[in-house]
Amino acid sequence: MSSSWDAVIIGGGHNGLVCAAYLARAGHKVLVLERREVMGGAAVSEEVFPGFTFSVASYVISLFRPRIIRELELAKYGYQVIPMDCAFQPLHDQRGLARWSDADRTYSEISRYSRHDAENYHDFKRTLTRLGRIAAQVISRPAPTGFSLQDLRTHTEMLPLIRDLEPHELQQLVRLLTLSAVDFLDEWFESDILKAPLSASGIIGTFQGVRSPGTAYVLLHHYMGELDGAFRSWGFARGGTGSVSLACAKAAQAHGAVIRTEAEVTQVRVRNNRATGIVLAGGEEISARRIISNLDPRRTLHGLVGAVHLPEDTVNALAHFTYRGSSGKVNLALDGLPDFTCRPGIGDHLRGDIAIAPSVDYLEQAFDEAKYGAFSSRPFINAVIPSLTDPSIAPPGKHVISCFVQYAPYDLAEGHEAWSLQREAFGQTVLDTLEEFAPKLRDHIEHMQILTPLDLERDFGLTEGNIFHGELSLNQLLFQRPAWGMAGYRTPIRNLWMCGSGTHPGGGVMGASGELAAKALLRERI
Amino acid sequence: MQNPEVIIIGAGTNGLAAAVALSKAGMDTLVLEKRAVSGGLSAYHRFGTKYRIPGFRPYPDGSTDMLNKALGITFPQPTSANSTGLWNGDSFDIETLPELADAGKALKTLLSIPLKRASLRNKMAWLPTLLQTQTKDLARWIPLSCVDLLSEFDLCEKQYSALTAPLYTRTFAGPKSPFGALQMLLHANRNNSNGHAVLIQKLEAAARSNGAVIQTGAPVKQICRNSSGVHVLMQDKTPIYARFILATCSPAMLRNHLLNPVLISRWPPVRSRGTCAVLALAMDQLPGWLTSSPACCKID
Ligand SMILES: Cc1cc2nc3c(=O)[nH]c(=O)nc-3n(C[C@H](O)[C@H](O)[C@H](O)COP(=O)(O)OP(=O)(O)OC[C@H]3O[C@@H](n4cnc5c(N)ncnc54)[C@H](O)[C@@H]3O)c2cc1C
Ligand SMILES: Cc1cc2nc3c(=O)[nH]c(=O)nc-3n(C[C@H](O)[C@H](O)[C@H](O)COP(=O)(O)OP(=O)(O)OC[C@H]3O[C@@H](n4cnc5c(N)ncnc54)[C@H](O)[C@@H]3O)c2cc1C
C-alpha cells in the first residue's frame, strides 16, 4: 500500500486521463484506476472481433479542445483526426441528400429540393458558426459558480463576445436556447428533407423529440468544432476513438503518471468529511491527498461515498439530476460495403456521416414509441464507415459500420432489466431499418455487436445508459452541472473532486471537464 | 371628430385598458373594433336563445391588482383561490407549494422589468430580485417539464395531472415537454376571480368617461404611412390619421393583413398554433359532481 500519491483518479475515461496528464505535468504523483481492462471509457477502441477494431461507443470527434492537444502535445502521442467530408441522408424515392464541405456542391444538392433553402443554407451556417464561437468559449472556461473573482473574470471575458453580436444574432441565441430544433429550423428552411437530418443533431443523447422545446441549442454543437475547415468539423480518430484516450494516457505516463487497469474502486474513504483514500474491489486500500472521480455524480457520491456522508442538499440535488439514457449502439463487421438504393455504388457519400432521418415526422414518431417505454420500431440511425477513411481498423477489403441508434429508452415499459431479452430484437430492428435503404446489407455481415442502454450501464458504467453522464438539458448545464454549488469540480467532501462529463461543460469527447478540473485543482496548489 | 392623437385597433381587454390609460393621461383616443361588440376574446357569446357564455373562464392573473393601481378601477374579489382537479379526494391548491408560488412571484418581477431601452436604474432593479434565493430555483426549474417540476415535490400522481393539465394544454406541448414549468410558474400565484363581464364593462365605461371614443363594427383594413403621416384605412378606404397607432390584434393579423410586409421583414416569426376548443353545454341543472365540489367557483 502506497500512501504517497498526490492524486488518485477514479476512472480512466478520456477526461480522467486528461486530468491525470495535467496534474502529472505539473509535477504531481498521480495514479489512475480503471475498472475495465482497457482505458478510454466511452472513448475507446477495441478489437471486438479478430481484425476488426470498433470505436465501441463514441464514434466521431469534433469538440476535443485544441488547447489540450497543444498543451499536452497529444499529436506527439498519436492524436490524429481525419475530417469527414460529407453528410449523407438516404431517402426512399429520391437521390437522397448529401451535404459536402464544398459549398457549391451542397448548394446544388439542396436546390434539388428547394432553391430557397439552398440560398439560406450559407447564412444559416454563418449565423450558427458565429454563435458556436460563443459556445466554444463557454466550454473552454470554468462555469461561473457565484460572484468570486474568478467568476468575475469569466463574466468580463465573455462580455465582449456577446457585445459583438448583432441584435438579430442575439435574438437567434435566445431562440436557440428555448425553441425545439424543428421550430428553429422552420424559421430558416422549407424542405423537410433538409430539416430532418439537421434537427436530428438536436436529439443526440437526449430523451426528447425533435419537436421538444430546448432541443435547438444542441445544433450549436455542430458548429463549434475546431477541425479547421472541415465540414461540420467532425472527424474520425485514426485507429478509432480510443486512440484519443490512448494519446492522453501516453501524455500522462510520459509525465510520470501511473495507470492501473482492472482496478475497480468500490469505496471512497471519508473521515471527518474529508476523503482520505479509496478501496479497491479486492480490498486493497490506497490513500491519497486528493481523490478525483471521473464517474458521474450519482456513482461518485451515492455509490462510492454514500449518502450518510453527504449533506441533505446534495442528496436532494443528486436525486433530481436526471440521466434517462435514450440511445444504443450497433457495430457491424462487414465483408463489403452497403449499397444504397437511392445512390448506388461506392461513392464519397459513404465516407462521412450517414443519417437515417428521412423526415421530421419519422424522427418524432421514433420518439413517440420511446415515451411509452419501447425502442423505436424505425429508429433514427447515425451510421459511419470509418474503415473507408482509416483502413487500419479492418482486414483488407473488409469494413466496419458503427451505428448510433435512437431511441432506445433505458426504462422499458417492462423495466430496464427487460433489455437483456430485447437486445437481439433491437439489433434486428436496426438492420431492418438500414435494409430499407440499403437492401441485402445482412449478406455482408460477418459479426455484430449490440449495445443497449443497459449494456452501456453495465459495461461502461454509464448510469441509466446516458452517454453524457447526465442529460444536457439547460437546467443541468453551466453553473448547474451537476448542481448549484458543485460546478467548480468540488464536492461537499473535502479533497474529493470530480472531472467527468457530469461536470461542466458536459458530455462528448472534449476533454474539457478533465482539463478544467485539473486547472482548478492546480490553482489550489495541492 | 378631428383626427385623434392615438388610434387603438381592437376593443379587447388590452385595447380597452390602453384606452383607459391613454385617455386618462389626456390623449385624444379612438378605439376601432371590428366586431359589433367590444370585449374581444373576453366578450360574451350568445348561445341558444336564453344563454350567454363568457369567452373564457376569467382569472385575471393578478392583473386586476395592476388595473386597480394603474387605472383606479376596482374588480370583484376572487371567490376562490383553488385550482381543483376533478378526482375523488382532496382538492389541491398550488399555493400550498410556497416555494413554487415564491418563485413564480420572482419570475413575474423579473419579467415586468423592461430591459430594452431601460435606464440603468431600471436595469439595476433586476439585481435585488436576481440575488434572491428564488433565482436558484428559477434557473433549475424553468427548463423543466411540468411533470419534472412537480416531481421535486411530494405529490401523488392524481395531483400531477390536475395541476399540469390546465397549463400545458394551452401550448403545443405535453406534460412532459421541457419548459412546461415556465407556464406553471407564471400561473403559480394567480387568483381565480369572477367578474369578467364586469371587467369589460368597467373598462369601457372608464374609457368613455375620460373622453375616449369606442367605435364597434369598424374593421381596420390597413395601416399605412405616407408624407402626411401614419394612418389607418377603413373598409371604405377612408383614412384616419393619428400620431400613434396601437394595435392589439394578434401579431399574425398585423403581419399578414394590416402591415406592408416590407416594413416588417426583420420581425421574428411568431407562431400561433391553436390547441384548444370550447364545448359549452346548456343544462337544466348542475351535475352532482360540480355542485358537491367544495372549491367549485360560481361564474357570474
Ligand atoms: C454509444 C455512445 C456514443 C457516443 N458518441 C459520441 C460521439 O460520436 N462523439 C462525442 O463527442 N461523444 C460521443 N459520446 C459521448 C462521449 O463518449 C462521452 O461523453 C465521453 O466519452 C465521456 O468521457 P468521460 O471521461 O467523462 O467518462 P467515461 O468515458 O464514462 O469514463 C469513466 C471511466 O470510469 C470507469 N469506471 C467506472 N466505474 C469505475 C469504478 N468503480 N472504478 C474504476 N473505474 C471506473 C469506466 O470504466 C470509464 O472508463 C458517445 C457516448 C456513447 C456511450
Ligand atoms: C377559449 C379561451 C379560453 C381562455 N381562457 C382564459 C382564462 O380562463 N383566463 C385568462 O386570463 N385568459 C383566458 N384566455 C385568453 C384571454 O381571453 C385573451 O388572452 C385576452 O382576452 C386577449 O385580450 P386582447 O385584448 O389582447 O385581445 P382580443 O381580446 O383578441 O382583442 C383584440 C380585438 O381586436 C379586434 N380586431 C382584430 N382585428 C381588427 C381589425 N383589423 N380592425 C379592428 N379591430 C380588430 C378583435 O375583434 C378583438 O376584439 C382564453 C382564451 C380563449 C380563446
Any idea what the CATH number is for the domain that residue B18 is in?
3.50.50.60
Among the listed residues B183, B193, B257, B178, the one whose alpha carbon sits nearest the alpha carbon of residue B10: B257
Give the chain A residue nearest B141 (alpha carbons). Answer: A475
Spatial neighbors of A227 by CB under 8 A, at least 6 apart, are A61, A62, A81, A83, A233, A234, A235
Final residue of a structural domain among B161, B186, B211 = B186
Together in a domain, B71 and B201:
yes
* Contact in structure between A358 and A196 (CB atoms under 8 Å): yes
**pLDDT tens digits in sequence order for chain A, 526 residues long:** 445 899 999 999 999 999 999 999 999 999 999 999 999 999 999 999 999 999 999 999 988 999 999 999 999 999 999 988 899 999 998 899 999 988 999 999 999 999 999 999 999 988 888 888 888 888 888 888 766 777 777 778 777 777 777 877 888 888 888 899 999 999 999 999 999 999 998 999 999 999 999 899 888 877 776 554 444 578 999 999 999 999 999 999 999 999 999 999 999 999 999 999 999 999 999 999 999 999 999 999 999 999 999 999 999 999 999 999 999 999 999 999 999 999 999 999 999 999 999 999 999 999 999 999 999 999 999 999 999 999 999 999 999 999 999 999 999 999 999 999 999 999 999 999 999 999 999 999 999 999 999 999 999 999 999 999 999 998 999 889 999 889 899 999 999 999 999 999 999 999 999 999 999 999 986 5
Together in a domain, B207 and B285:
yes
Mapping DSSP to helix (H, G, I), strand (E, B) and coil, where does residue B32 land?
A: strand
Neighbours of B99 (CB within 10 A): 14
**Ligand with an atom nearest the CA of residue A244:** 1
**A371 at interface of B, judged by CB pairs closer than 8 A:** yes
Is A168 within 8 Å of B269 when comparing Cβ atoms? no
Q: Is B42 touching ligand 2 by the criterion CB < 6 Å?
A: yes
Final residue of a structural domain among B166, B186, B206 = B186
Report CA(A188)–ligand 1 centroid distance (Å). 35
* Contact in structure between A238 and A506 (CB atoms under 8 Å): no
Residue A524 corresponds to which cell in the numbers above?
489550489
**Ligand with an atom nearest the CA of residue B214:** 2
The number of C-beta contacts closer than 8 angstroms across A and B is 41
Q: Which amino acid is at B16?
A: L
Residue B273 corresponds to which cell in the numbers above?
398554433
* Contact in structure between A402 and A408 (CB atoms under 8 Å): no
**A475 at interface of B, judged by CB pairs closer than 8 A:** yes
Q: How far apart are CA A381 and CA A354, in angstroms?
A: 8
Together in a domain, B198 and B298:
yes
Is B139 within 8 Å of A187 when comparing Cβ atoms? no
Report CA(A242)–ligand 1 centroid distance (Å). 11
Spatial neighbors of A264 by CB under 8 A, at least 6 apart, are A33, A35, A280, A281
**A175 at interface of B, judged by CB pairs closer than 8 A:** yes
Mapping DSSP to helix (H, G, I), strand (E, B) and coil, where does residue A97 land?
A: strand
Spatial neighbors of A142 by CB under 8 A, at least 6 apart, are A150, A154, A487, A488, A489, A504, A516, A519, A520
Q: What is the crossing angle of helices B13-24 and B196-209, to 10°?
A: 30
Going from the C-alpha of B63 to that of each of B19, B57, B139, B195, B249, the distances in angstroms are 16, 15, 25, 13, 19
Together in a domain, B68 and B205:
yes
Mapping DSSP to helix (H, G, I), strand (E, B) and coil, where does residue A313 land?
A: helix
The three-state DSSP-derived secondary structure of A144-163 is: CCCCCHHHHHHHHHHHHHHH
Q: Which domain holds residue B29?
A: 1-75+194-300
* Contact in structure between B223 and B245 (CB atoms under 8 Å): yes
Among the listed residues A387, A389, A365, A388, the one whose alpha carbon sits nearest the alpha carbon of residue A376: A365
* Contact in structure between A146 and A488 (CB atoms under 8 Å): no
Together in a domain, B147 and B218:
no
Q: How many domains does chain B have?
A: 2
Together in a domain, B226 and B179:
no
Is A480 within 8 Å of B176 when comparing Cβ atoms? no
Chain B nearest C-alpha distance from A175 (Å): 10
**Residue whose CA is at the smallest distance from ligand 2 atom 3:** B56
Is B140 within 8 Å of A475 when comparing Cβ atoms? yes
Q: Which domains does chain A have, with CATH numbers?
A: 5-42+65-72+241-321+472-523 (3.50.50.60), 101-226 (no CATH)
Chain B nearest C-alpha distance from A483 (Å): 9
Q: How many residues does chain A have?
A: 526
The closest-lying atom of ligand 1 relative to the alpha carbon of residue A456 is 53
Final residue of a structural domain among B186, B212, B247 = B186
User: ipTM score here?
Assistant: 0.86
Q: How far apart are CA A468 and CA A123, in angstroms?
A: 30
Give the chain B residue nearest A146 (alpha carbons). Answer: B131
